[in-house]
């Protein structure tokens, strides 16, 4: 397993945002993660990326326990997260924003300040090349020189993915990358995810649109109030009574999930 989560718990006051979660994702899988608002999906991502610490439990990445490592160390191991809310560096171009994503693998740590300039000069062409490739892949080529904040929302989401790809991840955590995307942008994203999957990149995809997840995911895990309530193929999940009632509170048919 590339990612192995056991007994994971994270509370916020009285709320068990992540409540005894077990999750195992083999290398190369695209795992869908769905659940109603407040189910704990983003919290689970932050626990894996290191932006939040667990109250209990273990997280192993490539066999190594990582729950005590800070986010930068996890990024260097190959864990990359795209946030649910778009984070941009204002006043920087799309290319520069994507190049920032290379930070984790170029190891520009502040303790290396003395070496920084020399090293940076040597690495920059490589970073730029990698950033341009990521920009091309995510359909942003014509915007490379545009200020990032001038991009439409759908393109800003693509930028986040480009930035994550620039860090050459082994595990990509995508938190609602399709939110607010229109038809064409959505199809491009489906195509991109399918392409990354065929190259063997392991991904976890949080998304409310079960139709979108079903198109790209191998297996879907369903969270509700911090707990895993179902896991299976897209077809199994769409037919699962517990899933349907978690989303809709009644026994409607699976197709009704499309509107969630
Ligand atoms: N920083 C925080 N402080 C307090 N409570 C939090 C915090 N972050 C999350 N929570 C609570 O933890 C629970 C899980 O939240 P989380 O954001 O992980 O859900 P989610 O599944 O990502 O929801 P959404 O689909 O709305 O993005 C919710 O009850 C939320 O209010
Ligand atoms: Mg969330």
Structure tokens that stand for 55 in this block: 């109250």
Q: Whose CA is nearest to atom 31 of ligand 1?
A: 38
What is the CB neighbour count within 10 angstroms for residue 107?
11
For ligand 1, the distance from its centroid to the CA atom of residue 16, given in whole angstroms, is 10
What pLDDT score does 259 carry? 40
Residue 202: what are its φ and ψ, rounded to 5°?
A: -85, 135
Note whether 224 and 153 are same-domain residues: no
Cβ atoms of 2 and 171 closer than 8 Å: yes
What pLDDT score does 119 carry? 62
State whether the beta carbon of 179 lies less than 6 angstroms from ligand 1: no
What pLDDT score does 120 carry? 64
Residue 245 burial class via C-beta count within 10 angstroms: exposed 0-12, middle 13-18, buried 19 and up: middle
Q: In sequence order, what DSSP letters do the residues of 146-166 get, joined into one string?
A: SBGGGS-HHHHHHHHHHHHHH
Note whether 116 and 217 are same-domain residues: no
Structural Rg of the chain based on CA atoms: 19
DSSP 8-state class, residue 93: B
Note whether 120 and 229 are same-domain residues: no
The Cα–Cα gap between 238 and 246 comes to 12
What pLDDT score does 7 carry? 98
In ligand 1, the atom with minimum distance to the C-alpha of 35 is: 21
Last residue of a domain, which of 167, 198, 233? 167
- Mean pLDDT, the chain, whole residue set: 88
**Three-state secondary-structure class, residue 252:** coil
For ligand 1, the distance from its centroid to the CA atom of residue 15, given in whole angstroms, is 9
State whether the beta carbon of 10 lies less than 6 angstroms from ligand 1: no
Note whether 41 and 98 are same-domain residues: no
Residues of the chain under the 70 pLDDT cut: 103-122, 248-260
Cβ atoms of 124 and 118 closer than 8 Å: no
Question: What is the value of pTM for the model shown?
Answer: 0.89
Note whether 183 and 73 are same-domain residues: yes
Note whether 98 and 51 are same-domain residues: no
| Residue at token pair 């899988």 | 29
What pLDDT score does 260 carry? 39
Residue 196 Cα distances to 28, 29, 138, 157, 167, angstroms? 9, 10, 11, 16, 14
What pLDDT score does 256 carry? 43
Domains identified in the chain, total number: 2
For ligand 2, the distance from its centroid to the CA atom of residue 126, given in whole angstroms, is 34
What pLDDT score does 103 carry? 67
State whether the beta carbon of 40 lies less than 6 angstroms from ligand 1: yes
Note whether 4 and 109 are same-domain residues: no
Ligand nearest to the CA of 43: 1
Which of 174, 172, 193, 201 lies closest to 79 in space, CA to CA? Answer: 172
**Three-state secondary-structure class, residue 32:** strand
Q: Within a domain: residue 83? A: no
State whether the beta carbon of 42 lies less than 6 angstroms from ligand 1: yes
The parent domain of residue 252 ranges over 1-78+169-260
Q: Within a domain: residue 199? A: yes
Q: Are strands 3-12 and 56-61 parallel, antiparallel or unpaired?
A: antiparallel
Q: Within a domain: residue 84? A: no
Which of 88, 81, 85, 67 lies closest to 21 in space, CA to CA? Answer: 67
**Strand boundaries in 35-186, DSSP class E:** 56-61, 64-65, 79-82, 171-175
Note whether 173 and 257 are same-domain residues: yes
For ligand 1, the distance from its centroid to the CA atom of residue 42, given in whole angstroms, is 7
**Strand boundaries in the chain, DSSP class E:** 3-12, 15-25, 30-34, 56-61, 64-65, 79-82, 171-175, 202-206, 219-224, 227-232
What pLDDT score does 115 carry? 53
């Amino acid at each position: 397993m590339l990612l192995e989560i056991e007994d994971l718990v994270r509370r916020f006051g009285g709320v068990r945002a992540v409540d005894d979660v077990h999750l195992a994702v083999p290398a190369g899988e695209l795992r869908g993660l769905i659940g109603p608002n407040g189910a704990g999906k983003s919290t689970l991502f932050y626990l894996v990326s290191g932006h939040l610490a667990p109250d209990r439990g273990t997280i192993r990445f490539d066999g190594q326990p990582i729950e005590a490592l800070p986010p930068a160390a996890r990024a260097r191991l190959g864990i990359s997260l795209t946030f649910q809310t778009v984070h941009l560096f204002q006043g920087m171009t799309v290319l520069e924003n994507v190049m920032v994503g290379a930070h984790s693998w170029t190891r520009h740590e502040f303790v290396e300040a003395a070496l920084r300039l020399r090293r940076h000069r040597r690495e920059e062409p490589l970073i730029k090349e990698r950033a341009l490739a990521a920009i091309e892949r995510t359909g942003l080529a014509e915007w490379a020189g545009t200020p990032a904040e001038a991009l439409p929302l759908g393109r800003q989401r693509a930028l986040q993915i480009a930035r994550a790809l620039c860090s050459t991840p082994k595990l990509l955590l995508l938190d609602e990358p399709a939110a607010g995307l229109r038809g064409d942008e959505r199809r491009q994203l489906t195509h991109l995810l399918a392409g990354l999957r065929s190259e063997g990149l392991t991904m976890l995809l949080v998304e409310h649109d079960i139709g979108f997840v079903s198109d790209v995911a191998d297996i879907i895990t369903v969270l509700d109030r911090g707990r895993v309530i179902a896991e299976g193929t897209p077809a199994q999940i769409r037919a699962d009574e517990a899933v349907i009632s978690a989303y809709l509170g009644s026994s409607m048919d699976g197709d009704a999930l499309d509107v969630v």
